[in-house]
């Protein structure tokens, strides 16, 4: 038997597809202005093939119900059933690139917000594309502590409920501590009386969007 070392080097084209909702801010008709882009990643229960169910969920629900000022283009993709956001990483990245190319998006102000499964997706996508985002906002989740250094140049505001019995608070605090060790720009808000579902409390807070407006690459 003869054993030889060899190398395979080929280019592979991958087709990606993802459904999404998009919202434009008041004043978008002004052709001279560019806008920040927020991409919102939903939780596990919203996976599927009916993107319209996201109209009354998360960020879009908060925008419709509250008196929020949201001077951003907002994109809300839907993760397919039986998939996870890390498996849709290429699709979400391609979506951001397409929106940036075809709409008046300021490439220096691209933001990610995600809850639960979507929070894990936020950490994952930012770790793999750290130069793409000016800021990220993960809710009720944790990330890869060993790769925290990749996030040191991204502004981060994380949120978690102290009584979360689905994702332990330690997953979030461990990630935040790891980023702090690399002198990253990270802040953490812990709700002492809330559990896993902190979306309404967080996404209806105008202070979050005011903070996002201050972030740029």
Q: For residue 10, tell me if it sits in a domain.
A: no
Mean pLDDT for 76-87 is 97
Share of the chain above pLDDT 90, in %: 93
Identify the pLDDT of residue 40.
Answer: 98
pTM of the model: 0.94
> Pick from 38, 46, 135: which is nearest to 92 by CA?
38
Q: For residue 85, tell me if it sits in a domain.
A: yes
Q: For residue 161, tell me if it sits in a domain.
A: yes
Mean pLDDT for 9-37 is 93
Answer whether residue 66 shows pLDDT above 80. Answer: no
Mean pLDDT for 3-23 is 93
Identify the pLDDT of residue 211.
Answer: 98
Torsion of CA 163, 168, 172, 173, to 10 degrees: 80
Mean pLDDT for 51-63 is 95
Q: For residue 11, tell me if it sits in a domain.
A: no
With tokens 């985002």, the residue in question is 133
Q: For residue 5, tell me if it sits in a domain.
A: no
Number of domains composing the chain: 1
Identify the pLDDT of residue 161.
Answer: 98
Identify the pLDDT of residue 1.
Answer: 86
Q: What is the pLDDT of residues 175-215, one digit of tens each?
A: 999 999 999 999 999 999 999 999 999 999 999 999 999 99
Identify the pLDDT of residue 65.
Answer: 85
Task: Report the chain's mean pLDDT, rounded to a whole number.
Answer: 96
Specify the CATH number for the domain of residue 116: 3.40.50.1820
Residue 169's contacts (CB-CB under 8 Å, 6 or more residues apart) are 160, 161, 162, 190
Identify the pLDDT of residue 152.
Answer: 95
Find the angle CA(89)-CA(203)-CA(90) to the nearest 5 degrees.
5
Q: For residue 9, tell me if it sits in a domain.
A: no
Q: For residue 12, tell me if it sits in a domain.
A: no
Mean pLDDT for 111-125 is 98
Q: For residue 1, tell me if it sits in a domain.
A: no
**Alpha carbons 113 and 212: distance in angstroms, whole number:** 11
Structural domain of residue 105, as residue ranges? Answer: 20-213
Q: Which of 9-13, 81-85, 105-109, 153-157 has the lowest mean pLDDT?
A: 9-13
With tokens 């009386």, the residue in question is 193
* Tokens (6 digits) for 184: 């990253």
Mean pLDDT for 74-78 is 98
Answer whether residue 12 shows pLDDT above 90. Answer: no
* Tokens (6 digits) for 53: 């169910």
Place 60 in a pLDDT band, splitting at 50, 70 and 90: very high
């Amino acid at each position: 038997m003869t054993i030889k070392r060899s190398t395979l080097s080929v280019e592979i084209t991958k087709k990606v597809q993802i459904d999404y909702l998009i919202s434009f801010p008041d004043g978008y008709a002004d052709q001279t202005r560019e806008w920040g882009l927020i991409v919102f990643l939903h939780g596990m229960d919203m996976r599927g093939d009916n993107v319209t169910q996201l109209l009354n969920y998360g960020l879009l629900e908060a925008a419709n119900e509250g008196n929020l000022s949201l001077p951003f283009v907002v994109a809300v993709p839907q993760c397919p059933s039986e998939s996870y956001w890390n498996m849709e990483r290429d699709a979400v990245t391609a979506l951001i690139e397409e929106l940036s190319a075809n709409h008046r998006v300021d490439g220096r102000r691209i933001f990610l917000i995600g809850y639960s499964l979507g929070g894990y997706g936020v950490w994952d996508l930012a770790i793999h594309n750290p130069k793409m985002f000016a800021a990220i906002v993960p809710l009720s989740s944790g990330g890869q502590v060993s790769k925290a250094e990749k996030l040191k140049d991204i502004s981060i505001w994380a949120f978690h409920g102290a009584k979360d019995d689905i994702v332990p608070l330690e997953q979030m605090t461990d990630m935040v501590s790891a980023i702090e060790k690399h002198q990253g720009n990270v802040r953490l808000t812990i709700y002492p009386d809330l559990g896993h579902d902190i979306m309404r409390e967080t996404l209806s807070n105008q202070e979050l969007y005011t903070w996002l407006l201050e972030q740029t690459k």
